[in-house]
Structure 1
Amino acid sequence: MTLKTLPVDANGTVLAFTDGGKPDSDTYITIFAVHGMVIFKRVAAKAASKISVLSLSIGCSEGSTPHSEAEGLIPITGSDEDKAGFIASRGVQLGNFIDAIHPEKRSTPMFADIKTGGMAVLGWLAGDLLSCAVVVNIDSLSPTAKDRFKLYLRPISCKITSSRVHWSPHMTPTIPADKHPAMFTSWITSYSDHGDLSTRDVSVLSYHVPSPLRWPTIYNMTADEIAETADQRPVELPGVFVSMAQANATYRKACYSADVKALVPSLKTTFFTGDRSASYSLAALWSIEDDNKAGGGNLKFVVVPGANHFLHWDDADEALKVYVDVL
């Protein structure tokens, strides 16, 4: 798929994306998949007959306008206010992108049954925060854009928020910084052999060691596939880890705020993950389940058996089934 770009602010910032095309139907749903590394190429191809999938490259990924040096430091060394502002600005950019696509009629309004039409924001890896940020910042968009979101938005999201225990190669000082991306890629695309997840006990999670029973996803990609679809520069991640307080505030407002629910009445949110995903994904699942119970119980949860963090590449058919079932 050809990488395209679209301006998202008055400063000439562009976001890159691939376009899976439009189904030949008047009632299809459009998914804006915001990724962190591997584009949703396989899902888009499988979905073409029933769902439109646009796969966005977040800032600093290939094709999108890179952050300036000063912007890139905000999530790491900025004040709490600056970090929150940085996240908000990313949400506004994504909202502008979605609204700019709209004149191309890339989605149809939701029908009364809320089962057909409309659009969803699918956040994955470093893109999961943006699926919350765009919802939280709808009020900062143009009046026309706000009206469209009310008529069209039905978000789904893979939310990785603050969990009870964190680990990532980026958090290990003995690993040289220039080795972080390659090690992170091998680790995050691996399959984990966790213990009994029904215990909801973080001690049963496998934090560091990939399963020897199935190769990491990246090892099953050809050099051409990696070059075409995989961005092995997860430069957003260090900033996400040290801006977790602001990321959590964004997630909580998106999922539990009465103001957000009033602004987008049709909003429904689902957290989904695989039971062989990286440790923080399962720990986050349990944390969010607890939050949801305390916050009114409006979120839904899907755990895909046997899936790692790259279901959309390793098993596009199953990934598409999850999306369709949620929608």
Structure 2
Amino acid sequence: MPKVTIPNTSLEFFFTDNGAPTAEKYTTYIIVHGHSYHAAVFQRLVPLASERGVRLICVNRREYPGSTPHTAQELRVYASGSHEERATLLHEEGVNLAICVDEIIQKYALSSVTLVSWSLGNTFTMAAMASILSFPVQSQLRIRTSVKRVILWDAPIEALGIPCPPNSYLPLYDTELAPEARGPVFSKWVQSYFNHNDLSSHDPKQLNYRTHDTSKRRTFEDLSPAEFQGMADHSASDRCDTVLTKPPFASIISAVVEQALFNPDIRSAWNHPGISYVVGEANPWNVLVAAWTIQERVKEFNGKTPISFTFVEGVNHFGMWDDPKKFLDVLIGCNKA
């Protein structure tokens, strides 16, 4: 079971790895998963990555299978900590994730890394980027040298601390549903395909908030319970992920994103890696609103913070499962842009 340990701690991070390609020079994609669905959700990319000559390393965040759980004190902070406690904890988790990446870089002598974060995983990658000046100097140097690009993949508004537009809908907060029903309804909702209206308008009124495309099956609709349990851990997300999507964390996460993407000192400390933002157009509305918000923020900087945006037609939140070839092509294409 491949793992790395954070120096001077007992913290371990489990990861999957398809192994080094035969080519001397290759790109390694280190992927950070989102809410509930862990590294196993990327398994359909693995054989394709090997065929394409790229390396795919998928990290399980803390609390997920194989990685070190949070302490009781950390879980208390997630659930009910003060603003300052929560900000400190997210900063520390960012440092831990970044050092995990550095340990993987050292373990395999990686020279070309693309750091990819999917869904809620973007919160932790943004925290890692924002905290670089807190890393050991040698870690900073290795990351500056090896990480060539960062890809934000299907980040929802909750992962970036962006407020909901008026009259929006999210099953997790649907008071008409019993509390125990909200998670299962959300799971079906996020696996669905949505037909939206004019996406070029960047107008939230053009989005379809509730009604999924019934002509397309939900991503995991035909999966057996055992297969589904092999790639998702809802008990882990209940302990430390869902709370991140709630209002008390929004301002903390928003400040982290501002540092990671728009602070020139932070970008310089990372040696100005390319930043790509990838979105499937059949996603739920909250993913599209997040992308539009970041696009508008980039415009405010008049090109000083270049971020490339790719909108993928017909792909929902689980493109790596339903159409892995297309999604791998998009990821590889980001490094050629």
TM-score of the pair, normalised by structure 1: 0.90
1:97 to 97, 100, 103: 100
Amino acid in the other structure paired with 1:213: S
> Which deviates more, 133-142 or 220-229?
220-229
1:317 to 325, 330, 333: 325
1:223-266 superposed Cα distances (whole Å, 9 cap, x missing partner): 44323223344330332333111111111111111101221224
Task: Give how far 1:144 is off.
Answer: 1.4
2:124 to 127, 130, 136: 130
What is aligned with 1:193? 195
Q: Distance in 1 between matches of 2:308 and 2:163?
A: 18
Matched, 1:299 2:299: no
Classify 1:311/1:175 alpha carbon distance in 2 versus 1 (closer, same or farther; 3 Å).
Answer: same
1:33 to 31, 41, 65: 31
> Which deviates more, 305-314 or 217-226?
217-226
The 3-state SS of whatever aligns with 1:42 is: helix
Q: Distance in 2 between matches of 1:263 and 1:164?
A: 32
What is aligned with 1:155? 150
What is aligned with 1:144? 138
Q: CA-atom RMSD, angstroms? A: 2.0
Q: Distance in 2 between matches of 1:87 and 1:177?
A: 26
What is aligned with 2:89? 86
| Structure 2, gaps ≥5 residues long | none
Matched, 1:270 2:270: no
Q: Is the 8 A contact 2:174 2:182 kept in 1?
A: no
Q: Distance in 1 between matches of 2:313 and 2:47?
A: 23
Q: Distance in 2 between matches of 1:312 and 1:67?
A: 28
Q: Distance in 1 between matches of 2:23 and 2:266?
A: 30
1:260-279 superposed Cα distances (whole Å, 9 cap, x missing partner): 12212241111111111011
Q: Is the 8 A contact 1:191 1:276 kept in 2?
A: yes
1:229 to 217, 228, 231: 231
Task: Give how far 1:85 is off.
Answer: 1.2
What is aligned with 2:64? 61
Task: Give how far 1:164 is off.
Answer: 4.4
Q: Distance in 2 between matches of 1:220 and 1:21?
A: 30
Q: Distance in 1 between matches of 2:84 and 2:312?
A: 37
Task: Give how far 1:323 is off.
Answer: 0.5
Q: How does 1:168-179 map to 2 (within 5 A)?
A: 168-179=170-181
Q: Distance in 2 between matches of 1:22 and 1:224?
A: 30
Q: Is the 8 A contact 1:132 1:251 kept in 2?
A: yes
Task: Give how far 1:169 is off.
Answer: 2.2
Q: Distance in 1 between matches of 2:139 and 2:197?
A: 46
1:45-87 superposed Cα distances (whole Å, 9 cap, x missing partner): 2112421111112222222222234322424432222221121
The 3-state SS of whatever aligns with 1:269 is: strand
Q: Distance in 2 between matches of 1:181 and 1:22?
A: 38
Classify 1:312/1:63 alpha carbon distance in 2 versus 1 (closer, same or farther; 3 Å).
Answer: same
What is aligned with 1:42? 44
Q: Is the 8 A contact 1:163 1:284 kept in 2?
A: no
Amino acid in the other structure paired with 1:88: H
The 3-state SS of whatever aligns with 1:64 is: coil
Q: Is the 8 A contact 2:30 2:115 kept in 1?
A: yes
Classify 1:73/1:210 alpha carbon distance in 2 versus 1 (closer, same or farther; 3 Å).
Answer: farther
Task: Give how far 1:163 is off.
Answer: 4.8
Q: Is the 8 A contact 1:271 1:299 kept in 2?
A: yes
Matched, 1:282 2:288: yes
Classify 1:43/1:296 alpha carbon distance in 2 versus 1 (closer, same or farther; 3 Å).
Answer: farther
The 3-state SS of whatever aligns with 1:18 is: strand
Amino acid in the other structure paired with 1:180: R
Q: Distance in 2 between matches of 1:250 and 1:266?
A: 17
Classify 1:280/1:9 alpha carbon distance in 2 versus 1 (closer, same or farther; 3 Å).
Answer: farther
Total equivalences in the alignment: 316
What is aligned with 2:316? 308
Q: Distance in 2 between matches of 1:205 and 1:321?
A: 27
Task: Give how far 1:315 is off.
Answer: 0.7
1:238 to 240, 243, 252: 243
Q: Is the 8 A contact 1:7 1:13 kept in 2?
A: yes
